[in-house]
A and B are shown apart, each in its own frame.
Chain A
């Protein structure tokens, strides 16, 4: 049957390149007033590194003023990509628009990926909030998402150097992505 599907995660190593790619992916929709988001992939472990960013845009991805939603078809595409590369979905990062609290909404909590130690990140101001220390980092504890307080955030999230793999995906498939905005 296999071992625990969700090895515990104590901390995350987040490359600055992942932050930059995330912002590049979402900021265009933010300017239109729409929410947008990305997937962060890697391998689970006590200290786990974000090693890939998947920009989600196109068929099966809803970007609207109050909602960012990814269809099961897109999840299927990313599942097959992740399997080929030995990666796991560690986190989602999505935007809230200007004036909307930088915190998980009820919809975010209900529709989020609810597995242990899953990370749900909310980026403020449609992606114009560029400092990730101002974003909301939330961890699923088995019952609900808990926002990391400042001391927890400092202890568990480390910003590191290094590259990440970049892809763009939707229900039609996946392709390599430069990580640049407006592509």
Chain B
């Protein structure tokens, strides 16, 4: 993780990249390591212009890390441990039939 100086002292940031398969350019932001993955998901979805919705089916977007879905209550530090400099996540859509 990168040590970034702030007015409050040194704050550990995690360089976070989220890819979405139909998008040419990824979402990228340096987050405080205490940031939860729910925050990352929300901001990445906003960048990609997508949202959960329900029509006849339920459409939900999820973050994956190394092929597995993440726990949104986890922080980046909890996901990665102390020594990772960054993280690469994938945003994928799940469609569940019969949402209505």
Name A's B-contacting residues (CB within 8 A).
1-7, 43-44, 69, 71-72, 75-80, 82-83, 88-90, 107, 110-111, 113-115, 118
Q: Does B5 contact A (CB under 8 A)?
A: no
Name B's A-contacting residues (CB within 8 A).
19-29, 47-50, 55-57, 59, 62, 64, 67, 88, 90, 92-95, 97
Given the interface contacts A72-B92, A79-B92, A111-B57, does A43 sit within 8 Å of B29 by beta carbon?
A: no
Given the interface contacts A76-B92, A115-B49, does A88 sit within 8 Å of B23 by beta carbon?
A: yes
* Shortest Cβ gap from A73 to chain B (Å): 8
Complexed CA–CA distance, A74 and B19 (Å): 15
Given the interface contacts A80-B67, A110-B55, A110-B57, does A72 sit within 8 Å of B24 by beta carbon?
A: no
A5 contact from B49, B59, B67, B88, Cβ within 8 A? B49
User: Are A2 and B19 interface neighbours, CB within 8 A?
Assistant: no
Residue of B nearest to A78 (CB): B21
Q: Which of A2, A90, A113, A115: most chain B CB closer than 10 A?
A: A2
Residue of B nearest to A91 (CB): B22
User: Are B22 and A3 interface neighbours, CB within 8 A?
Assistant: no
User: Are B19 and A115 interface neighbours, CB within 8 A?
Assistant: no
Complexed CA–CA distance, A118 and B24 (Å): 12
User: Are B25 and A83 interface neighbours, CB within 8 A?
Assistant: no
Q: Inside 8 A of B59's CB, which chain A residues have their CB?
A: 111
Q: Which of B22, B27, B57: most chain A CB closer than 10 A?
A: B22
